[in-house]
Structure 1
Amino acid sequence: MERRRIVIAGAGIGGLSCALSLHATGLRPRIVEAARRLRPVGVGINLLPHAVAELTALGLGEALAAIAVPTGSMLHTDRHGNRIWSEPRGRAAGHAWPQYSVHRGELQQLLYDAVRDRLGPDAVRTGLTLESVGEVGAGPLRIGLRAVADGARTEEEADALIGADGLHSAVRALLHPAEPRLPLWNGIRMWRGTVTAKPFLDGRTMLVAGSNATAKLVVYPVSRHAERRGEALLNWVAEVRTGEPGPVDGAAWTRRGAAADVLAHFGGWRLDALGLDVPALLSATEEILEYPMVDRDPLPSWGRDRVTLLGDAAHPMYPIGSNGGSQAVLDARALTRALADRPDAAGVPEALRAYEEERRGPVNALVLAMRDMPADRLLQAVAERAPEGFDRVEDVLTPEELASIDAAYRRTSGPS
């Protein structure tokens, strides 16, 4: 049987998960990454139970448990800290697997180390940008690469190319050249950071305060190491509507933000009853990242022949419902199953079509569900009806409105 050669563009969570998943079936994919050096950077993300189950099946369960915090509950409050709604998460909600909050950089490093350990130190080649994809007659793909350091051009041959290269995917641009270059902004600007502080509430709560129709703050712990020390590495996300929706340039997580810009919207917030000093939290953050909340319109098809997309390259979505990294992991596992069912090189196009047919519809529906933001409409209703706070949420929202928050999270946080 002919051995399939697979190249993955992108060494993020999706690309690394895909490499590990393919390796578990006996393949040795190669990863090319534009960054010259992979470093554990970024802020917090969440992995939903169905994604944790898939990573555990790859033998990463103990390593994940060593770095991530099992999320016990999600709590919504108004800007004064008054409880609106809450629900258990992960095992507390009856799932067989935990939901994890984790530092993105630590998770990427865990996956990268596993890839190097299992596939070899040369499995990930950094500092290479993808420029072209062509065929050699009826033979393999010819993938054109250029070195970031000196511009030297090289070629790779492969039976399949997986574009896992993120929001600004070069593979997506080659497959869909007519698509607008810029992602779509919904008018909400986000600032994010991590800071070591005292644990708040039970130490494993994801807090959502306010509404992003005006201003919203999300805070949760992301480090098991800090938890063992009796501290909390808190990831915080501040969301403020600052502009009109439309295409936007400069959507990159390397852009630095300023504490003064965030404090202009949150400096007067007091969440003392929850154990959070918001101005102190923001002021103590050494590095703040600024980013527009963006996505792209869902595609009617992802790939073509022996080239396909995965993760944010296929379906960038708003960071609502803890879905970004989780859906990339599910993509990787679905793609691997499709290829395993068709084990020779000739079956690659059919396998990639089967993968897309399984994943594209449900994930595109998630992208649109994120845009709808039904939970935020209810949070904004609370802010409008009780701007100075309240004693009982039942005096502000009807039972039907409260129940609709449950339904909203089922739409955005359930498996797909």
Structure 2
Amino acid sequence: MRIVIVGAGIGGLTLALSLHAAGIEAVVYEAAPEILPLGVGINVLPHAVRELTDLGLADRLADNAIATQALMYANKFGQEIWREPRGRHAGYHWPQYSIHRGVLQLLLFNAVRERLGAKAVHLDHEATGVETSPDGATVSFRSKTTGAPLQSAHGDLVVACDGIHSALRAQFYPDEGPPVWNRRVLWRGVTESAPFLGGATMVMAGHQDMKFVCYPIDPKAAGRGTSTINWIAELRFPDTVEWRREDWNRKGDLADFLPRFESWDFGWLDVPEIIRGAGQVFEYPLVDRDPVDRWTFGRTTLLGDAAHPMYPIGSNGASQAVLDARTLAYDLATQPTLDAALAAYESARRPATSRIVLSNRGNGPEQVMQMAEERAPNGFSHVHDVIGREELEATAGEYKKLAGFDREALNNRASLVATRVRV
């Protein structure tokens, strides 16, 4: 069996490693002419860290990421709403990691080339379409650099891992249109600064119309006694405002958002100072797509952001792509036929990710910040005066179950390691 993977992002590269570990041939085609450490920070939750650990990447992750110890929600005055331990500190068998997205992608890319060979990844191949047949699927490509057509690739299965603007998804959903914008814009940056709250805490402050998120991502900086802080500033805009198309690499302008955050010096965290300290700032609208009722079309299926782009609420985007990849590889290795494998994959992953997409539109676990804003817009003496502990615990716990990282369920779940191929 030969699997053609379209896209060398986190999902596509994890799928290549997983297929190789299961004894299934895989080849990756990526539109970018070069894999560069683009983007800013992301979180990899324990359920995804488990899967990357099973792929033999535990040491590489530990060397390049911060093991998150705690998550804290605060209101716009910096008053604590909810704090909980994370990763091993919360009793999981695996850590939670904060890491630069580009570092993680390069880590996976290098592992793919080491294990599958340098020729397993073809760069500068932008997918333009796919044709399916009873014996597989064939992807057409053009050069991202020159626009010239390139040789097509045939596989028993084609997996579209080509992101929120997936050309292959667009072929199957031609009337879908652009991603859905919810009137919120994110500005993201990385700043070298003094550690806060022990140097391994993720902070979310504000409410759904105005929010600041930050967490450290570089263990080398921690070794120097400083902190490389990934941060996100978020604002909601009225319906009369139009914004530019989303782009992970569009430069942002501090004048568009910094004035709104100038008063956010909490003592334990100086938000405007962190924003001003960034070498560069990126800006993009907060977008997703509506869940669809089908991912698989003949011998082509969707994975990651091509299947279920979601708001970066609850730190789940990259982790869900990893789970997609591991589940698909497991099903391909253990189900009796290719059709059965695709049915099992979609049955396991499509409903689960659809629920997360919809939950994230309602702010997911971050809803506790909105509760505090609505019930105590001028602040509080103690959070339990406005939100009971049971309500806070329930909000956090329900999302963990929804997203697949309930502690007891994850610690006791059967492994997705598969080495015997039946199809």
Q: Same fold (TM over 0.5)?
A: yes
Q: Does the CA-based 8 Å contact 2:314-2:364 persist in structure 1?
A: no
2:113 to 116, 125, 132: 116
TM-score (norm 1): 0.92
Match of 2:179 among 179, 183, 187: 183
In structure 1, what is the equivalent of residue 22 of structure 2?
25
Counterparts of 1:5 and 1:413 in 2: how far apart (Å)?
A: 31
**1:366 paired residue number:** 356
Q: 1:396 to 1:246 in 2, by over 3 A?
A: same
Listed one character per residue, the Cα deviations across residues 155-197 of structure 1 (whole Å, up to 9, x for unaligned) are 112111000011001111112223x220111111111111111
Deviations 1:285-342 (Å, cap 9, x if unpaired)?
1111111111111010111111001111100111111110101011001100111024
Instruction: Name 2:330's counterpart in structure 1.
Output: 337
SS state at 1:79 partner: coil
Instruction: Give the Cα–Cα distance (whole angstroms) in 2 for the partners of residues 113 and 301 of structure 1.
Output: 32
Deviates more, 1:69-78 or 1:384-393: 384-393
- Tell me which residue corresponds to 1:149: 145
Give the Å deviation of 1:385. Answer: 4.2
Question: TM-score, normalization: structure 2?
Answer: 0.91
Instruction: Give 2:281's aligned amino acid.
Output: I
Question: Structure 2: which 5+ runs fail to align?
Answer: 407-423
After superposing the two structures, state which structure 1 stretch, 148-157 or 97-106, moved more: 148-157
Match of 1:203 among 199, 217, 238: 199
Tell me if the contact between 1:262 and 1:282 (Cα under 8 Å) persists in the aligned partners. Answer: no
Structure 2 counterpart of 1:242, from 237, 249, 253: 237
2:32 pairs with 1:35: yes
TM-superposition CA deviations, 1:211-244 (whole Å, max 9, x none): 123x111110011121122111101011111133
Change (3 A) 1:342 1:296: same
Counterpart pick for 2:222 among 222, 227, 231: 227
Q: Which amino acid letter does the alignment assign opposite residue 225 of structure 1? A: K
CA distance change for structure 1 residues 52 and 203 in 2, over 3 Å: closer, same or farther? same
When structure 1 is superposed on structure 2, of 235-244 and 305-314 the one drifting more is: 235-244
In structure 2, C-alpha distance between the alignment counterparts of 1:298 and 1:227, rounded to whole Å: 40
1:6-405, aligned counterparts within 5 Å? 6-135=3-132, 138-153=134-149, 154-178=151-175, 180-213=176-209, 215-244=210-239, 250-272=245-267, 274=268, 276-342=269-335, 347-373=337-363, 375-405=365-395
CA RMSD of aligned residues (A): 2.0
Number of corresponding residues: 405
- Cα distance in 1 for partners of 2:121, 2:338 equals 22
Measure the CA separation in 2 of the matches of 1:32 and 1:393: 50
| 3-state SS of 2:392 partner | helix
- The verdict on how the C-alpha distance between 1:135 and 1:186 changes in structure 2, with shifts beyond 3 A counting, is closer
Structure 2: distance between partners of 1:384 and 1:135: 52
| Distance in 1 (alpha carbons) for counterparts of 2:301 and 2:145 | 27
Shift of 1:401: 3.9
Q: Distance in 1 between matches of 2:403 and 2:159?
A: 26
Aligned CA distance change for structure 1 residues 413 and 300 (closer, same or farther; 3 Å): closer
1:127-165 Cα distance to aligned partner (Å, 9 max, x none): 1111122246x4442221111223332211211100001
In the alignment, the residues of structure 1 paired with residue 113 and residue 393 of structure 2 have an alpha-carbon distance, to the nearest angstrom, of 47
The SS at the match of 2:211 is strand
Name the CA distance, whole Å, in 1 between partners of 2:240 and 2:165: 19
Distance 1:191 1:411 in 2: 29
Conserved in 1, the CA contact under 8 Å of 2:136 and 2:299? Answer: no
Query: CA contact under 8 A between 1:189 and 1:290: conserved in structure 2?
Result: yes
Aligned partner letter, 2:235: V
How far, CA to CA, are the matches of 2:383 and 2:146 in structure 1? 61
Q: For the structure 1 residues 107 and 23, does the alpha-carbon distance in structure 2 shift closer, same or farther, using more than 3 Å as the test? A: same
CA shift in 2, pair 1:402/1:158, >3 Å: closer
Label 1:184 to 1:10 Cα distance change in 2 as closer, same or farther (>3 A). same
CA–CA separation in structure 2 for the residues paired with 1:360 and 1:377: 24
Instruction: Describe the superposition over 1:258-304 as per-residue Cα deviations: whole angstroms up to 9, x where unpaired.
Output: 122221210111111x2x22111111111111111111110101111
Change in CA separation of 1:134 and 1:402 when aligned onto 2, cut-off 3 Å: closer
> 1:183·1:248 contact (CA, 8 Å) conserved in 2?
no
Secondary structure class of the residue paired with 1:39: coil
Aligned partner of residue 127 in structure 1, secondary structure? coil
Write the distance in 2 (CA, Å) between the matches of 1:403 and 1:372: 17
Preserved CA contact (<8 Å) 1:369 1:411: no
Q: C-alpha separation between the residues in 2 aligned to 1:403 and 1:59?
A: 34
User: In the aligned structure 2, how far is the partner of 1:341 from the partner of 1:398?
Assistant: 46
Contact 1:144 1:155 in 2 (8 A): yes
- Separation (CA, whole Å) in 2 of partners of 1:167 and 1:245: 25
Instruction: Give the direction of change, closer, same or farther, for the CA distance of 1:183–1:21 in structure 2 (3 Å limit).
Output: same
Shift in Å at residue 352 of structure 1? 1.5
Q: Give me the whole-angstrom Cα distance separating, in 2, the residues matched to 1:297 and 1:22.
A: 29
